[in-house]
Amino acid sequence: MSKASDQAYEELRSRILSGELAPGTQLKEEELATLCGVSRTPVRAAIRQLEAELFVRRTDSQRSFVAEWNNDDLEEVFVLRGMLEAYAVRRAATRANASVISGLNAANEAMRTVIEALDFDLPAYLAANARFHALILETAASDRLASLLGKLVLQPVVQQTVRAYSREQLLRSYREHVEITTALAQRDPDWAEALMTAHIRRALHARLEPAEG
């Protein structure tokens, strides 16, 4: 995409994530065009993109709304994401080199630093987490897999998941990342896959049952 399309996309995406455009809100092209300071054309492109990424749903009569999430949707996304990320990490295990491993270690260190800090820096945590998963996906070297996962790694979901985490759960998640990294360094696809499956599954349950700590 180009300038105006990107602008519209970023603008809408961030407003959806922040909740300014709440779930269920109807997205009207003209209104959004004014909001983003571009014409309807790039707004249309942005909406279609967000629709492909499941941030937006479309009715039969072609009207767009900010997607709403119930527990079934949530479980569905986590299960699918679990399958695909497990496959990704399996592929990554046979492709990871020293530079990948050190990249993963760096992301893990960043995450630990955030967790151990006195005031919790959510954006930094999310960035480190995203870097870890993105690096694995990149190492898996599968365009199609990346394209599918792109539609499932839904930031609002992850965000809420992290909010629901206690510090102990965050630490546990960090340790899982470290162990996955070890499995990759050992080039053990089975180990990596099993760990990733458990990792994603734990995130689902953390999200379904609010943290107790």
How far apart are alpha carbons 208 and 4 in whole angstroms? 38
Please, what is the minimum distance in Å from the beta carbon of residue 137 to DNA?
24
DSSP for 115-183, written as a single string: HHSSS--HHHHHHHHHHHHHHHHHHHT-HHHHHHHHTT--HHHHHHHHHH--HHHHHHHHHHHHHHHHH
Stretch that binds its own copies, among 15-23, 81-89, 119-127, 159-167 (CB under 8 A): 81-89
DSSP, res 4: H
CA 78 centroid distance within chain:
11
The residue to which tokens 């394209």 are assigned: 147
Q: Is 89 in the site for its own copies (CB under 8 A)?
A: no
Please, what is the minimum distance in Å from the beta carbon of residue 22 to DNA?
16
Q: Is 62 in the site for its own copies (CB under 8 A)?
A: yes
Q: Which is nearer to DNA, 67 or 140 (CB)?
A: 67
Task: For residue 26, list its beta bridge partners.
Answer: 65
Residues near 76 by beta carbon (within 8 Å), at least 6 away in sequence: none
Sites for DNA among residues 40-79 (CB under 7 A): 40-42, 44-45, 59-64
Q: Is 141 left (phi over 0), alpha (psi -120 to 50) or beta?
A: left
- Residue selected from 52, 117, 122, 208 as contacting its own copies according to rule CB under 8 A: 52
Q: Which is nearer to DNA, 1 or 141 (CB)?
A: 1
- Residue selected from 17, 25, 28, 54 as contacting its own copies according to rule CB under 8 A: 54
Please, what is the minimum distance in Å from the beta carbon of residue 190 to its own copies?
16
Q: Is 195 in the site for its own copies (CB under 8 A)?
A: no
Pairing of strands 56-58, 64-66: antiparallel
Q: Which is nearer to its own copies, 28 or 151 (CB)?
A: 151
Q: Which of DNA, its own copies, none lies near 201, with the C-beta cut-off 5 to 8 A by kind?
A: none
- Host H or E run for residue 33: helix 29-36
- Host H or E run for residue 58: strand 56-58
Q: Is 82 in the site for DNA (CB under 7 A)?
A: no
Binding site for its own copies (CB under 8 A): 1-2, 45, 48, 52, 54, 62, 73, 76-77, 79-80, 83-84, 87, 142, 144-145, 147-148, 151-152
Give the binding site for DNA (CB under 7 A).
1-6, 26-31, 38-42, 44-45, 59-64
